[in-house]
A and B are shown apart, each in its own frame.
Chain A
Amino acid sequence: MKISLPLLFAIASAWGYPLAAAPVNFLPQPLLKETEDGFRVPQPGYQFVFPRDHGSHPDFKVEWWYLTGHLFGPDKERFGFQATFFRKANTPPREQGSGGSKTFRSDEVFLFHAALLEVESGRFIHTERLARSGWDANASSSGLSVRVGEARLSAVDGQEDRFTLDASIRAEAGFSLKLEAQKPVVVFGKDGVSRKGESATAASWYLTFPRMQARGEVRVKERLIPVEGLVWMDHEISSSQLTEEQAGWDWAGIQFEDGREIMVYRLRRKDGATDSASALSWVDREGKATYYGASEFQWETNGVWRSSESGAKYPLPVRLKAPDPVTGSLVEWILEPLSNQQELDGAVSGVPYWEGACRVLREGREVGSAYVELTGYAGALGRALR
């Protein structure tokens, strides 16, 4: 699961979203069909139909498409990038679209985040954009086509595994990429449902392309650089999933040079303990996922970096220990940031967080690349969008 940053909290709380009250001990109740306010709850056994299910699901309250990746230019230029499209419904499905302006809808809003790290210079550029549904932002429910302002993510000719991504970061930078999945989509969770706590609505459909080949261009100011690289793409659909007991979370998506991936998240409770809902999943070369529970891996800090902007202290680099399903032995990796300065300042959401490109080291040797997300280190999350 790639939990959607502090922004999920932010969006949820900013619209009076009722966060689940019970602590997560991973003894989930049977799922309800819908939330109290009338949104659908993801159900097990759902048969995904693509490309339709890459598109929007307006019956659900929250949804996001989340892309991170590492790009390389012809002259050894290296970039890390993030592009995230969030959708949040303000009114239940039965009330959506009933009256009001179609151009300026108030029943649904979108949030877009983009960031680019120019590794050589250490220059980190990022932006956030909030838009109401209508002319300025929309998402198709028949296939992947989501747009916030000028930023777009869409399927190529309706295909289910080839997409294009276009985004700019103000006038300073931009990227235009063609993405092609190297593995089939991975659906995390038992029976296709990723449970996030014991609440009867705390669940999501969590779809991931853990390895996509990217080709295109990056622009830094007026300089255009052809790039290639690897991208990680999440698409998650839910109506309720988080608890008030969580102080934040740490997440990583690791792409190993041997063709396998790890998706790992550690939910941090307010008392500092790791929440039992935390998990690690290996994805093998064929795209098959192997699940490990909270007690089977260790997420530790290998240092601290303090942001001069927000004052937050982030546990960086990260030391991760987990069993390798091939050998069965416990392996340790260091997730080392390509630059510490990869904090997004939360200018729109109001919640700073760290989301950055890392190299993956095993016994000092680089064995892959990763994106790491660290949330809840810069104050309360629920104050977002104020």
Chain B
Amino acid sequence: MNLKPVEDRGGTARVSGVLLRQFTLRHWRGQPLRALLLVLLLSLGVAVFLSIRLANRAAVASFTNFASVLSTQADATIGAPAGLLPDSVLETLRQNMAVKGTDISAGMELIPIVEVVCAPPRSGEDGGIGARGSFTLIGVDLVALQNFAADQKMERRWFEEASQADEQNGGGALGRLLGRRNAVYCSGKLAAKEGLRVGSLLVLVVNDQPVSLEIAGIIPGRSDQPESPAGLLVMDLPALQELSGKVGLLDRIECLFPKGARQGASRDALLTRLRAAVGEAGSVRTGESRLAAAELMTRGFRLNLTILSLLALLVGLYLIFQALDAAVVRRRSEIAVLRALGVRGSEVRRAWLWEAALLGVAGGAVGVLGGWALAQGTVRAVSQTVNSLYYANNTEAAGLHPGEAAGAFLLAVGCSVLAGWFPAKRAAATPPAQLWAQGAGPGGAEADSALRTWVGCGLLFGAVGLAFCSPLTFSGGSRFALGGYLSAFFGVIGAGILAGDSLRLVAWLAARFSRHSAPRQLAQSHLRVPTSRHRWAAAGLLCAVSMTGGMSVLVGSFERSVSEWIAHLLQADVYLTSDSNQAATAYNRISSSSWRKITSDPAVSDWDAMLLVPVEFGGGSIRVAGTSLDFYQRRRQFSWLKEPLSAEVFDRKQNEGRCVVSESFAERFRVGRGARIRLPTPKGERALEIEGIYTDYGDDQGIVMVERGHLQEWFGTSAVSSLSLVLKAGEDPEAVRAQMRASHPGLAVFTNVHLRGEVMRIFRQTFAITYALEAIGVAVALAGLGITLASILAERRAELTTLRALGMSRTGIAGVAAWEGAILALGGTAGGLISSLGLGALLIFVINKQTFGWTLQPAIPLRALLLLGVVVPVSGAAVAWVVGRYGAELPSDVTK
């Protein structure tokens, strides 16, 4: 190396360049496998994080407006605060918004929308709820759409296919299309997937009837825009009004402001005018607020996933830290030479930081690509859960969002540099004389033990304090458990820092069982005074195990609570709903004639019918359930948190103005028993007094339950959403189910056993992705263990040569490494399991409660924790054994 001290900035840059080439990259070239593994592990962390972000984004983006099909976004959306908008509001709007042609606000487009979430009919005994997927059937004025086709320069016209099909008739496509009540447009994706062509038939269940729709064409798009989602179908609006029983009604009106009024003061002025023009008939939301509503609805769910997805990255950072820290030890003689040659400490530190940054760049770049690929798989899992719990969602692919990709890349680089900061500092700060001294690497084992213990304890205390912080609250009642999440983070990091101390204890305990085994004693001797690599490997494992174990505690508690809840809730023998209600926002109904016929079946002894409607409340969206409160109470279906003090709420003659609410509602809006709320209905606001609070794990937005008759009157409907039937003694539920499925092909019919199974299946499906994320985190931690041991063995080549010279076989050396790895893994796992109990409690009592508003019955899943306690150390030992075999093959001569 030809180095000399330089003062100028350019000289410093040159020194950095030389150091990078000769000092950093030379080591990478010398040990390419190690460098590659580090990059891959970091990239895996980045990939997992990015994939979840992309999947979340895709799922939220699917909750958008029809205007997006026209390659734009609605500037405002008009909806009814409760129920549907009468379509006469359009005429009112036109009159009240009448503008002069010269007004700058002239040119606003109003797009009335009817929306129905539906599904294809079942074919035999098909999969469970949600298995068939949902379609969003949009009713829009097909005539007015021509104008958008012209303005948006669409690649095809809406009626192109229909026109081609009608070629021989000399045109007239539009006229004929308007005359057909079952014509529907589908996306190109669906057409390709299902082999649909113009004229093909598509059967869907709308409300309680299967209907046959004829494909009239493919939804046109722009060549520079993504294609329409596969689950989107478009019909002429009045046809869908008729088909869905929404004659004279609209779900919403999407408004596109003229170009000059899409932002700033003009936009605000137009919004004000729009609100004044709508008056009491509807509520006006900006385009952003509608998307924000979807984000709000799923915030807790998405945040949990995002935080879980950080697990692998966090563990990866432990690895970067320990790898760079180990490099300081390995390269100490080189550092000493550099320092002796006059290279300043700051330049050595910079070289380390560059190395960390390079790792971050490489890991980030590979991770971004991997994340995008992984997102195509995770998006389905996320979509399924969003579909089941929040709104209809058929997202099948996630695009590589530039912002998210850049964020993940910067996170990788930033975190990597952060992880390299401390080793870099140590490399630069240690005097050359100390560096020359063999065996006294920078930051020797005990050098800062006391500080470490204090920091670890401090973080744990901080975690406890943060757990008691109140959540942040947002408009619409949404809350964010910031204190809870910070508490978890501090706790895991703090426990990780203290993990090294547990190694001594485990090594001491292990020594009790291996007094007569020299290899084991040799392995234990390495851990009596664990190095920082040992500590960080154990910390990585502790982090992974504690988060996995904590989630297991949460899931176990959740499962117990849900099991007890459905045991209470599901008391009837047979349940019916529309077969199209495959998603949380599918509000297909059973007509009055159908449900009256079903409930008068001779096999039925008792029944209840529930009407479920979404309403806006407190700036957010909730649901109002109309049911027979008497039936619920009589059948002991309520799991009360606060039971009504009077029985009047169960008496339909006395319960107008009374309600019971779910725990999520009470938590979200901070109301208790005795509070009065004002509920919007199409017939004006209704004042209700909360008589009781019950548990409901099926909804985290909040439910207000009232007597069905009142709700039906307020919303002007006699239809219902679902039926619960209690059969006469001796009646076979399966036989009744079979009979009702045959006579009502548009209805989904469940027996009690079947429905319980479905609830639990959906529950487990919801958590499926979390298991995958945890498994990846643990795998990364185990790989980190392997890298650590490989690094340690490389440093012990002289010792290994001696052992071989003394006659120890390669298998014996591998055994030593395996024992060392097992003790490390055991230490990390033991610490992880202990801290997982604390983390589990935090998740149950703080994060879950503050995010979803559910009180869970705590349960410790012993089997899952035991499995974790066995699998991780055994896997650690196995990985260490493989690494030991590799170490035994190392040449005795120390070369770079």
On whether the two chains bind one another, the answer is: yes
Determine if B159 and A386 form an interchain contact, defined as CB atoms under 8 angstroms apart. yes
Measured between alpha carbons, how far is A171 from B101 in the docked complex, in Å? 10
Q: Contacts A136-B90, A221-B260 known; A130 to B147 CB distance under 8 Å? A: yes
Q: State whether the Cβ of B102 lies closer than 8 Å to any Cβ in chain A.
A: yes
Q: State whether the Cβ of B77 lies closer than 8 Å to any Cβ in chain A.
A: no
Residues of A within 8 A of B151 (CB): 170, 347
Determine if B104 and A222 form an interchain contact, defined as CB atoms under 8 angstroms apart. yes
Q: Contacts A103-B90, A130-B144, A132-B144 known; A176 to B237 CB distance under 8 Å? A: no
Q: From residue 84 to 106 of chain B, which have CB atoms closer than 8 A to chain A?
A: 87-88, 90-91, 94, 98-104, 106
Measured between alpha carbons, how far is A174 from B236 in the docked complex, in Å? 30
Determine if B141 and A136 form an interchain contact, defined as CB atoms under 8 angstroms apart. yes
Determine if B144 and A385 form an interchain contact, defined as CB atoms under 8 angstroms apart. no
Q: State whether the Cβ of A26 lies closer than 8 Å to any Cβ in chain B.
A: no
Residues of A within 8 A of B247 (CB): 101
Measured between alpha carbons, how far is A222 from B260 in the docked complex, in Å? 9
Q: Which of A100, A217, A385 sits near B238, CB closer than 8 Å?
A: A100
Determine if B174 and A14 form an interchain contact, defined as CB atoms under 8 angstroms apart. yes
Residues of A within 8 A of B141 (CB): 104, 132, 136
Determine if B103 and A135 form an interchain contact, defined as CB atoms under 8 angstroms apart. no
Measured between alpha carbons, how far is A189 from B110 in the docked complex, in Å? 42
Determine if B94 and A135 form an interchain contact, defined as CB atoms under 8 angstroms apart. yes
Q: Which of A101, A132, A224, A382 sits near B143, CB closer than 8 Å?
A: A132
Listed A/B pairs (26) with beta-carbon separation below 8 Å: A14-B171, A15-B175, A16-B170, A16-B171, A100-B238, A101-B241, A101-B248, A103-B91, A104-B87, A104-B141, A104-B238, A128-B150, A136-B94, A150-B98, A150-B108, A165-B101, A166-B102, A168-B258, A170-B151, A170-B259, A174-B101, A217-B102, A222-B260, A347-B150, A382-B171, A386-B171
Residues of A within 8 A of B382 (CB): none
Given A103-B88, A170-B107, 14 extra CB contacts under 8 A: A15-B174, A101-B238, A104-B237, A128-B150, A136-B144, A151-B101, A168-B103, A171-B106, A174-B106, A175-B101, A176-B100, A176-B102, A386-B160, A386-B163
Q: Which of A17, A131, A382 sits near B144, CB closer than 8 Å?
A: A131
Q: State whether the Cβ of A348 lies closer than 8 Å to any Cβ in chain B.
A: yes
Determine if B90 and A348 form an interchain contact, defined as CB atoms under 8 angstroms apart. no
Residues of A within 8 A of B94 (CB): 135-136, 147, 150
Determine if B159 and A168 form an interchain contact, defined as CB atoms under 8 angstroms apart. no
Q: State whether the Cβ of A82 lies closer than 8 Å to any Cβ in chain B.
A: no
Q: How far is the CB of B239 from chain A (nearest CB, A)?
A: 9
Residues of A within 8 A of B149 (CB): 347-348
The interface bits of chain B over 172-191 (1 if a CB of A lies within 8 angstroms of the residue's CB, else 0) are 11111011000000000000
Q: From residue 63 to 122 of chain B, which have CB atoms closer than 8 A to chain A?
A: 87-88, 90-91, 94, 98-104, 106-108, 110
Q: From residue 1 to 45 of chain A, which have CB atoms closer than 8 A to chain B?
A: 13-17
Max chain B Cβ within 10 angstroms of own Cβ: one of A16, A103, A147, A165: A103
Q: State whether the Cβ of A383 lies closer than 8 Å to any Cβ in chain B.
A: yes
Determine if B159 and A385 form an interchain contact, defined as CB atoms under 8 angstroms apart. yes
Determine if A109 and B101 form an interchain contact, defined as CB atoms under 8 angstroms apart. no
Q: How far is the CB of A382 from chain B (nearest CB, A)?
A: 6
Determine if A15 and B238 form an interchain contact, defined as CB atoms under 8 angstroms apart. no
Q: State whether the Cβ of A129 lies closer than 8 Å to any Cβ in chain B.
A: yes
Residues of B within 8 A of A90 (CB): 175, 178-179
Q: Which residue of A lies closest to B87 (CB)?
A: A103
Q: State whether the Cβ of A218 lies closer than 8 Å to any Cβ in chain B.
A: yes
Q: State whether the Cβ of A182 lies closer than 8 Å to any Cβ in chain B.
A: no
Q: Contacts A16-B175, A171-B258 known; A219 to B102 CB distance under 8 Å? A: yes
The interface bits of chain B over 792-803 (1 if a CB of A lies within 8 angstroms of the residue's CB, else 0) are 000000000000
Determine if B101 and A150 form an interchain contact, defined as CB atoms under 8 angstroms apart. yes
Determine if B101 and A167 form an interchain contact, defined as CB atoms under 8 angstroms apart. yes
Q: Which residue of B lies closest to A222 (CB)?
A: B104
Measured between alpha carbons, how far is A216 from B159 in the docked complex, in Å? 39
Q: State whether the Cβ of B146 lies closer than 8 Å to any Cβ in chain A.
A: yes
Residues of B within 8 A of A132 (CB): 141, 143-144, 178
Measured between alpha carbons, how far is A170 from B163 in the docked complex, in Å? 28
Residues of B within 8 A of A129 (CB): 147
Q: From residue 261 to 296 of chain B, which have CB atoms closer than 8 A to chain A?
A: 261
Q: How far is the CB of A22 from chain B (nearest CB, A)?
A: 18
Measured between alpha carbons, how far is A100 from B178 in the docked complex, in Å? 11
Residues of A within 8 A of B176 (CB): 16
Q: From residue 311 to 334 of chain A, which have CB atoms closer than 8 A to chain B?
A: none
The interface bits of chain B over 214-251 (1 if a CB of A lies within 8 angstroms of the residue's CB, else 0) are 00000000000000000000001110010000011000
Q: Which residue of B lies closest to A107 (CB)?
A: B178
Determine if B87 and A135 form an interchain contact, defined as CB atoms under 8 angstroms apart. yes
Q: From residue 143 to 164 of chain A, which have CB atoms closer than 8 A to chain B?
A: 147, 150-152
Measured between alpha carbons, how far is A21 from B585 in the docked complex, in Å? 55
Determine if B172 and A13 form an interchain contact, defined as CB atoms under 8 angstroms apart. yes
The interface bits of chain A over 225-259 (1 if a CB of B lies within 8 angstroms of the residue's CB, else 0) are 00000000000000000000000000000000000
Q: Which of B107, B143, B169, B178 sits near A150, CB closer than 8 Å?
A: B107
Q: Contacts A104-B87, A135-B90 known; A386 to B173 CB distance under 8 Å? A: yes
Q: Which residue of A lies closest to B163 (CB)?
A: A386
Q: State whether the Cβ of A298 lies closer than 8 Å to any Cβ in chain B.
A: no
Residues of B within 8 A of A221 (CB): 260
Q: State whether the Cβ of B157 lies closer than 8 Å to any Cβ in chain A.
A: yes
Determine if A174 and B175 form an interchain contact, defined as CB atoms under 8 angstroms apart. no
The interface bits of chain B over 322-339 (1 if a CB of A lies within 8 angstroms of the residue's CB, else 0) are 000000000000000000
Q: How far is the CB of A280 from chain B (nearest CB, A)?
A: 33
Q: How far is the CB of B166 from chain A (nearest CB, A)?
A: 9
Measured between alpha carbons, how far is A218 from B103 in the docked complex, in Å? 10
Q: Could you count the A-B residue pairs with CB atoms below 8 Å apart for me: how many are there?
A: 149
Determine if B238 and A168 form an interchain contact, defined as CB atoms under 8 angstroms apart. no
The interface bits of chain A over 187-207 (1 if a CB of B lies within 8 angstroms of the residue's CB, else 0) are 000000000000000000000
Determine if A14 and B260 form an interchain contact, defined as CB atoms under 8 angstroms apart. no
Measured between alpha carbons, how far is A350 from B238 in the docked complex, in Å? 25
Q: Contacts A101-B248, A150-B106 known; A382 to B170 CB distance under 8 Å? A: yes
Determine if B171 and A13 form an interchain contact, defined as CB atoms under 8 angstroms apart. yes
Residues of B within 8 A of A219 (CB): 101-104
Measured between alpha carbons, how far is A385 from B149 in the docked complex, in Å? 11
Residues of B within 8 A of A109 (CB): 143
Q: State whether the Cβ of A106 lies closer than 8 Å to any Cβ in chain B.
A: yes
Determine if B178 and A106 form an interchain contact, defined as CB atoms under 8 angstroms apart. yes
Determine if B144 and A176 form an interchain contact, defined as CB atoms under 8 angstroms apart. no
Q: How far is the CB of A80 from chain B (nearest CB, A)?
A: 16
Q: How far is the CB of A376 from chain B (nearest CB, A)?
A: 16
Residues of B within 8 A of A103 (CB): 87-88, 90-91, 238, 248
Residues of A within 8 A of B237 (CB): 101, 104
Q: How far is the CB of B764 from chain A (nearest CB, A)?
A: 45
Q: How far is the CB of B104 from chain A (nearest CB, A)?
A: 6
The interface bits of chain B over 561-602 (1 if a CB of A lies within 8 angstroms of the residue's CB, else 0) are 000000000000000000000000000000000000000000
Measured between alpha carbons, how far is A171 from B173 in the docked complex, in Å? 30
Max chain A Cβ within 10 angstroms of own Cβ: one of B90, B100, B103: B100
Measured between alpha carbons, how far is A383 from B174 in the docked complex, in Å? 12
Q: Which of B90, B147, B160, B260 sits near A171, CB closer than 8 Å?
A: B260
Residues of A within 8 A of B87 (CB): 101, 103-104, 135
Determine if B104 and A14 form an interchain contact, defined as CB atoms under 8 angstroms apart. no
Measured between alpha carbons, how far is A171 from B150 in the docked complex, in Å? 15
Determine if B88 and A128 form an interchain contact, defined as CB atoms under 8 angstroms apart. no
Residues of A within 8 A of B259 (CB): 170-172
Q: From residue 333 to 386 of chain A, which have CB atoms closer than 8 A to chain B?
A: 347-348, 350, 382-386
Residues of A within 8 A of B102 (CB): 166, 168, 174-176, 216-219, 224
Measured between alpha carbons, how far is A109 from B172 in the docked complex, in Å? 13
Measured between alpha carbons, how far is A126 from B248 in the docked complex, in Å? 34
Residues of B within 8 A of A15 (CB): 172, 174-175
Measured between alpha carbons, how far is A347 from B144 in the docked complex, in Å? 13
Q: How far is the CB of A351 from chain B (nearest CB, A)?
A: 12
The interface bits of chain A over 253-271 (1 if a CB of B lies within 8 angstroms of the residue's CB, else 0) are 0000000000000000000
The 8 closest A-B pairs by CB, nearest first: A347-B150, A16-B172, A168-B106, A171-B258, A386-B163, A174-B101, A15-B175, A135-B90
Residues of A within 8 A of B100 (CB): 166, 174, 176, 217
